[in-house]
Structure 1
């Protein structure tokens, strides 16, 4: 392969005009002939640059609303010809085809069109055909042709030309070709995914996902694992779209835990009051509402002060100074919130290792989206768990019905249990968690762990009795036996929310009645593996 290839002729056709004038001017100053199409040619001419229309090269005008303009041998021959092959060179000469050394193309804004909620016809019109064809042709012939598909790479291209006196090196062309194929793959993935959704095909025969590198990470879950963070371009507020105001770069575990925290706190509508979630190792160790954000944080912290150390804090309202002051009382890895006022940011500025992220909003917990998980030889795809339960969905199955305060706490506990690793048990009292049991193989063990944590915090807080006494309990799945329920009763729980559906529901209901518990069934479970 040829190491250095001088750029003499470039074809530029872009939807995103960012940096176009500067690029065109820099190429023209190096004597590069510019070919272009439609709006790109017009923009270059307005910048005072000499441009040859692709229609002059092909001998055909742009037609069919621009659908046909670059699909021609005079274009693709110029991109695909091997300069080292005499037959290819002869074909260029015979047919009067000029070689193209540089292709700069970014595609029709299909993803943006879908994101703004355009109708089916408009989305189809924004599926690019000629662009991907040219990109793939140029990338295939990277031995001789440079292809650039991202505006952020214009600077690298111009630096390369400066280094090699108007030429590009093979290594650079290989890098740009890899980037180009990844772009067309991501584009096709977006199109196919949209079409599957538009036609309500839940299990398409082929499924593709794509992402854009947000940041390389120092390592993954452990130091011996390499990792990187990719974003999918969705507008869902969260860690992927957040602005980081201070602190060192997020780690793999930080990103995972921060996402878990923010998705949990989003379950609590800020219009109903402040809420705070504290996460450790992707599990909540404290969740609470309060009259103020600072009070919500304090109540969440009091659920498990030990686990909260070094945790992730998510807030459903903008961070204020009082809450910031309270948070700085212990070491915290990350705080994520819809916003932060200047006074709060000033308080955090003194904690250089504390990361502060703001998102501008909360994710919609009821929105539909896909999640996927890798397994050996493939991956599992499912809808994101956006299940929601309201008072009207509950079925009282015991002689005693929940009192109004108990009902509100049951619904609170159910929202939290959705975000706890199964088997999940959550104790709640007065809109605050007081004990969380997570990730146990036995639901009885989760019940006992949650109760023990509540008892432990009673000692720390100097309470006369465990806060589990008089609390309510949520179980993410049914109780297969009455023993887990009895563990809750022994801890002092007064009401229970669970999906129901066990073969022994009658036995569990009878045990609840005997213990004087109120119990409701949701008919929905929230396994989180």
Structure 2
């Protein structure tokens, strides 16, 4: 158990990030704390005129092998690991002339920054810290007697505690710093393990899968007010998206905002901005309207028309730079978040008039084909899978009905399947002219999703004063095969003329026959897009 107060007499400093180092060390020196340091840290403190002992003088060995070996020595680790009230430990220190180290200040070689910058493999390997994590773990293990600082943001806290406690650090603070230290080394090691898994082509390593990240934001609460939550940013080079976006304005993002904005941006990334402008409107992680258009304004208006009721309080994602025309239209209704690769100054000024509306600029779109993984927690475990990086543009569509789809139907079928990939299963999407007209999501039976989507299309027609449903003349996409013909027949009854689905059911022949009888064109993709 940690002692209540531990007086700090000697500190070892060895840092890669030298932000605030000199001021911190000067404050320690002013309190009469002896300073020991290594390599570049020692030079920085010496140049600042501070009295500092080099680690080599403690160990009796010079730094060697380009600095790879400098602190891995009993004179260092004995000083960190010795239990102060253990007579045998104290006798060992005395017998070998080892001085106790009461405060360790270490931040690690910048491995995460090195891999994020796409440096050569040799540079990445060289930036794997060995001595630093060893010292951190030693000090954190012995937090009953030693304080360990791994984050420059904690310098002020430590100095304030030393001032308040007349040169000592309390047990609660040492415990907090120890927990943070182990979290840091865990995240650091996970970054290394994950990078190596990619470099060496290792899938699902047999022992453990490593995870780690840096706390980017503490959130007010999770999905509900009684749940705590936080957002962590993954180390290294990552896909563009909500985690890398710059928030230009608006309230802090909530847990649900993060989740829904990620879903929105992943969906709109399926649409190549060089082909057409595209807008996805998301509510509760499901698309409620998606469209392509000649401009963002046109795409937004057509996406909104699919389900304006659900779009209220939703997330709007765009695949091109937000312009003033689109911004003016988007802010007409209550919107939680807008995310885009960029925004014009005029568009940003228009959004700024809505002070609570969050505007996120991600710099680029996430690559829908990029490999990666998704992780979900279970009670007592984790489920890990590769991300769904298959896109319909790469799928050879197989015509299975007597009638092949027309050119216009083929374009809409591909459009609808891009959207269906991002709708919760069971998913049914009606589309016409490059815009959704009805979406059925998350139902326990596919026929129910089909009926809901058809009802949404009929409601859309009523809003526009049209005599027939928007589903008439549309195409329909299903994220998985139709197990029975009933879901397909519901689409035919709604007025759909063509169908895209993965195929693979025991009753494919029955479903194909029903499509032929209804005069539908149908294609199989061979790829399912379940999203649970």
* TM-score, structure 1 normalization: 0.96
Q: Deviations over 1:359-394 (max 9, x none)?
A: 122111111111111122211100011111226611
Secondary structure of 1:302 counterpart: helix
Residue 527 of structure 1 is matched in structure 2 by 530
Of stretches 382-391 and 52-61 in structure 1, the one that deviates more from structure 2 is 382-391
Residue 203 of structure 1 is matched in structure 2 by 204
1:380 aligns with 2:383: yes
Query: Distance in 1 between the 2:507 and 2:127 partners?
Result: 56
1:224 aligns with 2:221: no
Query: Distance in 2 between the 1:410 and 1:179 partners?
Result: 51
1:307: how far off?
A: 0.5
1:521: how far off?
A: 1.0
1:65 aligns with 2:63: no
1:163–1:318 CA distance, 2 compared to 1 (3 A): farther
Query: Distance in 1 between the 2:402 and 2:46 partners?
Result: 81
Query: Distance in 2 between the 1:163 and 1:317 partners?
Result: 54
Matches within 5 A, 1:451-490: 451-490=454-493
1:85: how far off?
A: 2.7
1:518 aligns with 2:521: yes
Q: Deviations over 1:480-513 (max 9, x none)?
A: 1111111111111111111111112122222222
1:471: how far off?
A: 1.0
CA RMSD of aligned residues (A): 1.7
Query: Distance in 2 between the 1:336 and 1:354 partners?
Result: 11
Q: Deviations over 1:432-467 (max 9, x none)?
A: 111000011111111111111011011112223222
1:319 aligns with 2:348: no
Secondary structure of 1:272 counterpart: coil
Of stretches 199-208 and 433-442 in structure 1, the one that deviates more from structure 2 is 199-208
Residue 415 of structure 2 is matched in structure 1 by 412
Query: Distance in 2 between the 1:20 and 1:114 partners?
Result: 25
1:324: how far off?
A: 1.5
1:27 aligns with 2:32: no
1:364 aligns with 2:364: no
Query: Distance in 2 between the 1:317 and 1:388 partners?
Result: 20
Residue 147 of structure 2 is matched in structure 1 by 146
Query: Distance in 1 between the 2:493 and 2:175 partners?
Result: 67
1:520–1:173 CA distance, 2 compared to 1 (3 A): same
2:343 pairs with one of 340, 362, 386: 340
1:27: how far off?
A: 2.4
1:141: how far off?
A: 1.4
Give the unaligned 5+ runs of structure 1.
none
1:236 pairs with one of 222, 235, 239: 239
Secondary structure of 1:215 counterpart: strand
Matches within 5 A, 1:77-476: 77-205=78-206, 206-233=208-235, 234-390=237-393, 393-476=396-479
* TM-score, structure 2 normalization: 0.95
Query: Distance in 2 between the 1:397 and 1:419 partners?
Result: 25
Contact 2:277 2:292 in 1 (8 A): yes
Secondary structure of 2:175 counterpart: helix
Query: Distance in 2 between the 1:163 and 1:232 partners?
Result: 36
1:275–1:99 CA distance, 2 compared to 1 (3 A): same
Question: How many residue pairs were aligned?
Answer: 529
1:65: how far off?
A: 2.3
1:399: how far off?
A: 2.1
1:502 pairs with one of 496, 502, 505: 505
Query: Distance in 1 between the 2:319 and 2:157 partners?
Result: 41
1:339–1:163 CA distance, 2 compared to 1 (3 A): farther
